[in-house]
Amino acid sequence: MNAKRLLILTGPQGSGNHLFSRVLSSHPQVRGWDALRDEYWIPSDREPFAAFWIQPQTLTADVFEGHDYFLANVSYPFFYDGVRYQPKIREVAERAAALGVGVDIAIVVRDQSINAVQQQRVGGEITLGMARDYYYSQLLDGSFPVHFLDHEALFLHGRHYLRWLSQILDFPIAWDGEDVMRFITHDANHKYVTPVAGHWLDSVIREGRRPFSERADSQAGQAT
């Protein structure tokens, strides 16, 4: 096993890259996007690996000095100096591997409907398809271990999810640290959700919760 590890965190725009980068950078053994510990959001071109997504050949061994665990983050696509790029994630992974660094890739997953609405609102365009096409064609061929990080699971299970994730990734996560859930005060999806007044299935479900003797079909489901 390689002595040094690089976890490349990616996801479609608006899927939660900043959120997971903050969480995964919080462990003292990890060199990640340290500035996110104190700021809620920072432009993507200020991420430590930002230039490498455009020019992977400039990644050198000295980048991996001082720590054993490293976190790099990029959305797909991403903006650098005002220009939208399709980051060369696979090339960065191959470059790091050639330098003797073990590489894992983690793809953030968020509800696709909410993710699409967020992309349309912020950028005026839905780029989910672009991200999926790249992941399917470039990252899921078995060359590198790929994991999927669940945006909804983080908000639902919090520290319990992070403790499990640390085991799955074999990567240090400060799941019990004081600052790991910093800035996380409510579910980020809440603002996109509007209650539904009613649905045709509601009455069917309520009927199925009644005793057998009170249902419209009193024989349904009874053991013989």
CATH code, domain with 39: 3.40.50.300
Average pLDDT of the chain is 93
Number of neighbours of residue 6 by Cβ within 10 angstroms: 25
**Is 132 inside any structural domain?**
yes
**Is 210 inside any structural domain?**
no
Tokens of 74: 């990029």
Q: Confidence class of residue 181 from pLDDT cuts 50, 70 and 90?
A: confident
Query: For the whole model, what pTM was predicted?
Result: 0.91
Q: What is the pLDDT of residues 101-122, one digit of tens each?
A: 999 999 999 999 999 999 999 9
* Number of domains comprising the chain: 1
Phi, psi of 212 (to 5 degrees): -50, -40
Query: What is the domain range of residue 21?
Result: 5-187
Instruction: Give the pLDDT score at 37.
Output: 85
Q: What angle do CA 81, 85, 86 make, to 5 degrees?
A: 155
Closest CA relative to residue 147, chosen from 13, 20, 48: 20
Q: What is the mean pLDDT of residues 138-158?
A: 96
Tokens of 186: 């409510």
Given a cut of 70, whether residue 189 has pLDDT beyond it is yes
78's enclosing H/E stretch is strand 78-80
Q: Which residue has the tokens 């639902």?
A: 156
**Is 222 inside any structural domain?**
no
**Is 196 inside any structural domain?**
no
